[in-house]
């Protein structure tokens, strides 16, 4: 594993590390049959103390996901073997699902120069143009979220504003852009509303919002889009179910 640095100041490091390790298993990047890296290897990978690594592993053991074999090492438990790779029909649908009473307003479709972060993720040359969609979602006339999608021109030009009124962007990428979607990564954190978010969600500047940064890849691992979705904090809820 390459070096990994986690910097979410809102969540203790050992929880972030435990979640990261579990996510690797869920995505298929770690095999349930394999032994986990040693504490020293994990310490070097995450750049933290051995105490933090032990707390992360203890957290996973408390959930009956790891077993320690004396003199051999740490392995996934039988319970961990039931965790399956996240599918599009799972958490991704729950986060972005459009219900019958959900109203979607597509504010704009535009061509903009990508920031360094966006160009780097999409593997574009610096200062390349991308297609940007801005959308609002409301539930029973209450604003729920403000979303900004950034896509390469080759995908974005195929998608019209009308497509996004009845379909999620993920569905549109599959059905309109004809992309075979692969891994979808979510990073969730509490942020503060800036002036743009404040304006669209009709909340005061610096009010807390739940922000999800989503990074979408195709089945070959090629980046497809990068998205920021900002939820009114008390309006957001989803449920995660792990198959038996």
pLDDT at 164: 92
The reply to whether 100 and 194 lie within a common domain is yes
- CATH number of the domain that residue 65 is part of: 1.10.10.10
Domain count, the chain: 2
N residues, the chain = 244
pLDDT at 239: 45
The reply to whether 44 and 117 lie within a common domain is no
Query: Which residue, among 177, 172, 188, has the nearest Cα to 106 in the 3D structure?
Result: 172
Say if 101 falls within a structural domain: yes
Give pLDDT tens digits for 156-193.
Answer: 999 999 999 888 899 899 999 999 988 888 888 888 99
Is pLDDT of 213 > 60?
Answer: yes
- CATH number of the domain that residue 156 is part of: 3.40.1410.10
Say if 6 falls within a structural domain: no
The reply to whether 157 and 171 lie within a common domain is yes
The reply to whether 21 and 126 lie within a common domain is no
CA 55 to chain centre: 24
- 3-state SS track over 129-197: EEEEEEEEEEECCEEEEEEEEEEEHHHHCCCCCCHHHHCCHHHHHHHCCCCCEEEEEEEEEEEECCHHH
Give pLDDT tens digits for 28-81.
Answer: 666 666 788 889 999 999 999 999 999 999 988 888 888 888 888 888 887 776
Mark which of 62, 82, 102 sits at the end of a domain: 82
pLDDT at 24: 73
> Is 201 within 8 Å of 146 (Cβ atoms)?
yes
Q: What is the pTM of this model?
A: 0.61
Beta bridge partners of 111: 131
Say if 160 falls within a structural domain: yes
Mark which of 82, 105, 134 sits at the end of a domain: 82
Q: How confident is the model at residue 82 (pLDDT cuts 50, 70, 90)?
A: low
Is pLDDT of 240 > 60?
Answer: no
Helix, strand, coil percentages (3-state) for the chain, rounded to 5, are 30, 30, 35
Q: Which domain holds residue 186?
A: 88-235
The reply to whether 142 and 181 lie within a common domain is yes
- How far is residue 192's CA from residue 178's CA, in Å, rounded to a whole number? 36
The reply to whether 76 and 120 lie within a common domain is no
pLDDT at 64: 83
Give pLDDT tens digits for 84-131.
Answer: 444 434 445 545 555 556 789 999 999 999 999 999 999 999 999 999
Q: Which SS3 state, helix, strand or coil, does residue 7 take?
A: coil
Say if 2 falls within a structural domain: no
The reply to whether 41 and 121 lie within a common domain is no
The reply to whether 95 and 157 lie within a common domain is yes
The reply to whether 48 and 95 lie within a common domain is no
Say if 173 falls within a structural domain: yes
Say if 181 falls within a structural domain: yes
Mark which of 65, 82, 99 sits at the end of a domain: 82
């Amino acid at each position: 594993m390459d070096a990994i640095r986690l910097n979410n100041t809102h969540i203790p490091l050992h929880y972030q590390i435990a979640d990261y390790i579990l996510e690797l298993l869920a995505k298929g990047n770690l095999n349930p049959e394999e032994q986990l890296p040693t504490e020293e290897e994990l310490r070097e990978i995450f750049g933290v103390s051995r105490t933090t690594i032990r707390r992360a592993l203890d957290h996973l053991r408390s959930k009956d996901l790891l077993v320690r074999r004396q003199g051999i090492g740490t392995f996934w438990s039988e319970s961990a073997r039931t965790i399956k790779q996240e599918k599009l029909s799972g958490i991704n649908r729950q986060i972005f699902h459009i219900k019958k009473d959900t109203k979607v307003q597509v504010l704009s479709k535009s061509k903009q120069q990508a920031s360094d972060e966006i160009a780097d993720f999409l593997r574009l040359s610096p200062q390349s143009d991308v297609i940007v969609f801005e959308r609002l979602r409301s539930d029973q006339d209450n604003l729920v979220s403000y979303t900004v999608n950034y896509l390469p021109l080759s995908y974005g030009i195929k998608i019209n504003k009308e497509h996004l009124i009845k379909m999620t962007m993920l569905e549109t990428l599959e059905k309109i852009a004809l992309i075979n979607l692969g891994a979808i990564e979510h990073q969730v954190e509490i942020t503060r509303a800036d002036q743009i978010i404040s304006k669209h969600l009709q909340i005061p500047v610096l009010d807390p919002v739940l922000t999800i940064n989503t990074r979408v890849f195709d089945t070959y691992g090629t980046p497809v889009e990068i998205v920021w979705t900002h939820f009114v904090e008390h309006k957001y809820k989803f449920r995660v179910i792990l198959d038996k």
